Amino acid sequence: MTYPGEITRRQLLRRIGMAAFVAGPGAGLLSACATGGAGGGSAAPTTSIAASADAKNPFGVDARKPLEVVIFSGGYKDSYAKDLHEELYKKAFPGVSIKHTGTQQIGTQLRPRIVGGDVPDVLNNSGPDALDLAALAAEGHLADLAPLFDAPSIDDPAKKVRDTVTPAVIVNAKINDRDLVLNYTVSHRALWYNAKLFASKGWTLPKTWAEFTALGDTAKAEGILLFAYPGQKGPYYQLWNVLYTAAKIGGNQVLIDIDNLVDNAWNADGMRQAVAAWVDIQAKYGDKAYFGLDHTQTQVKQLQNELLFYPVGSWIENEMEKDKPADFEYAIAPIPDVTAADKMPYGAIQVGVGENFVVGAKGKNPQGGLEYLRIMLSKEGARGFTMKTRNLTVVNGAANGLDLPAGLMSAAKAQDAAGQNIITDARFEGWYKELFDYGTEQINVVMAGRITPEQFCTNMQRKADDIKQDEAVAKQTRSQ
């Protein structure tokens, strides 16, 4: 007599036999395959961690649980995490152990682990080998950050974390309407130039396209190139530049439409005018040799005063710090007015948040992950980051009183001057990598004059349409 649910020895053997038959010989070995079989876990929605009002430990971190932190060790290196944020975490929870990994190969290192359902507690997802966050979110690997934003801040328990950071953090945190990503740095993108060279020549910043080209002629007479971007490795700097110019001409809606894959978004007037304007600059004032130079080679040329304007972000100052001669001082220049009727007035620059941090929902210590991010968003954590990397963070007022380098100061001033006229970021870079990758290739083709600006817009539109129709690509939308 057998009880319900009990398996007899005979049944057991039969089942093992069936399993062996189904799996076939060698299945034991092959089960270590790329997709991980059923071991990956289901895509169940992540449960949020409740935040208490306890300002010391709102997420209920267990100090006995170790924390794993993976940092992209790129331009910012990883010492800000290792020597600063992790130390602060250890101070808050004495005796806790932290496993730190600094790598430039985020995807290569983590992809196999993630497929197996093993995600680090804190992940700085950045660099050319970054993971697809939307795909991770779809699998429920990313912890909800809403409790973090609603938790009391470290410096002032009466204030929520969400009120201590720049609003763009909250807007950019969303994937499919859930707060999953923390952007930690603020960068200012426009054209960058040598303020000391301008001062010594008595040149002023061009405000209109006519002044821009006039300065191009003046500079040409002195053997200086008006503008260049790196055709190798860094053509996306120029893609950004063209996109931001389009937003200046036609308003941020141009970029929002492009991100939302709206029909004919790439054929908008602002976009076409922006491409045409820059192609014209390249043809009249550019040098085709730069199509074959990479970002470092181009940036060194700028340090040697061989070119005036370079489209990049505020990280450039720290990046070139070692090579920068004494008579070079980085400063930001807004994109000049392209038409007389640009939607955004002169002075508009792009101010964006960047450097993604996520917390693993299925990791061993998601509470610790949230707490780690809360520590990063403290004044001490943010100031330390700025001092170590010379880049600003999203924490309001964290850099107050710090002795900022000249370039960052100029960026801060430009942001004040721009006021509400802030150019938004183009998010298809992260959402639809294939489209962005295609854009960075096509921008070289159009800038080199091998296709017309109209053809560029048509090509981009066709690619965007392909992506829109591709069911395999998860779609994102934005309203602002």
To other proteins, the closest distance from the beta carbon of 136 in angstroms equals 6
Residue 450 binding other proteins, by CB under 8 A = yes
129 binds other proteins (CB under 8 A): yes
- For position 63 contacting other proteins by CB under 8 A, the verdict is no
In the complex, what is the shortest distance from the CB of residue 143 to other proteins, in angstroms, rounded to a whole number?
A: 16
66 interacts with other proteins by CB under 8 A:
no
Q: Supply 139's token pair.
A: 């699998």
**Residue 478 CB, nearest distance to other proteins (Å)?**
20
Identified binder of other proteins from the candidate list 2, 8, 42, 400, rule CB under 8 A: 42
Is residue 434 close enough to count as binding other proteins by CB under 8 A? Answer: yes
Stretch that binds other proteins, among 41-49, 199-207, 239-247, 270-278 (CB under 8 A): 41-49
User: Min. distance of Cβ 132 from other proteins in angstroms?
Assistant: 5
Q: Which range of residues in 1-9, 30-38, 319-327, 393-401 is near other proteins by CB under 8 A?
A: 30-38
Yes or no: say if 161 and 377 are a contact pair by the CB < 8 Å rule: yes
Q: Which residue has the tokens 């503008």?
A: 227
Q: Does 45 bind other proteins (CB under 8 A)?
A: no
Stretches 286-294, 314-322, 326-334, 381-389: which one binds other proteins (CB under 8 A)?
A: 286-294
Contact flag: residue 50 with other proteins (CB under 8 A) = no
- Applying CB under 8 A, among 68, 78, 139, 337 the residue interacting with other proteins is 139
Q: Among 65, 100, 178, 233, which residue interacts with other proteins (rule: CB under 8 A)?
A: 233
User: Token pair 């700025």 is at which residue?
Assistant: 386
Q: CA of 241: how far to CAs of 244, 278, 303, 330, in Å?
A: 5, 9, 20, 18
From candidates 19, 43, 199, 210, binder to other proteins by CB under 8 A: 43
Does 115 bind other proteins (CB under 8 A)? Our answer is: yes
Which is nearer to other proteins, 194 or 459 (by Cβ)?
Answer: 459
Name the residue nearer to other proteins (CB basis): 133 or 281: 133
Task: Indicate which single residue of 1, 29, 221, 341 sits in contact with other proteins (rule: CB under 8 A).
Answer: 29
Kindly report the number of other CB atoms within 10 A of residue 158's CB atom: 8
Q: How many residues bind other proteins (CB under 8 A)?
A: 46
* Site membership for other proteins, residue 143 (CB under 8 A): no
132 near other proteins, rule: CB under 8 A: yes
**Least gap, CB of 35 to other proteins (angstroms):** 5
Out of 291, 328, 385, 428, name the contact with other proteins by CB under 8 A. 291
**Interaction between residue 111 and other proteins (CB under 8 A):** yes
Is 340 one of the binding residues for other proteins (CB under 8 A)?
A: no
3-class SS string, the chain: CCCCCCCCHHHHHHHHHHHHHHHCCCHHHHCCCCCCHHHHCCCCCCCCCCCCCCCCCCCCCCCCCCEEEEEECCCCCCHHHHHHHHHHHHHHCCCCCEEEEEECCHHHHHHHHHHCCCCCCEEEECCCCCCCHHHHHHCCCECCCHHHHHCECCCCCCCEHHHCECCHHHHHCEECCEECCEEEEEEEEEEEEEHHHHHHHCCCCCCEHHHHHHHHHHHHHCCCEEECCCCCCCHHHHHHHHHHHHHHHHCCHHHHHHHCCCCCHHHCHHHHHHHHHHHHHHHHHCCHHHHHCCHHHHHHHHHCCCEEEEEEECCHHHHCCCCCCCCCCEEEECCCECCCCCCCCCCCEEEEEEEEEEEECCCCCHHHHHHHHHHHCCHHHHHHHHHHHCCEECECCCCCCCCCCHHHHHHHHHHHHHCCCEECCCCHHHHCHHHHHHHHHHHHHHHCCCCCHHHHHHHHHHHHHHHHHCCCCCCCCCCC
Residue 114 interacting with other proteins (CB under 8 A): yes
Contact criterion met (CB below 8 Å) for 56 and 155: no
CB of 363 to other proteins, least distance (A): 15
Which range binds other proteins by CB under 8 A, 124-132, 165-173, 244-252, 256-264? 124-132
Q: Is 303 among the residues that bind other proteins (CB under 8 A)?
A: no
Give residues in contact with other proteins (CB under 8 A): 26, 29-30, 32-36, 38, 40-43, 107-108, 111, 114-115, 117, 129, 131-132, 135-136, 138-139, 141, 231-233, 287-289, 291-293, 433-434, 437, 440-441, 444-445, 448, 450, 472
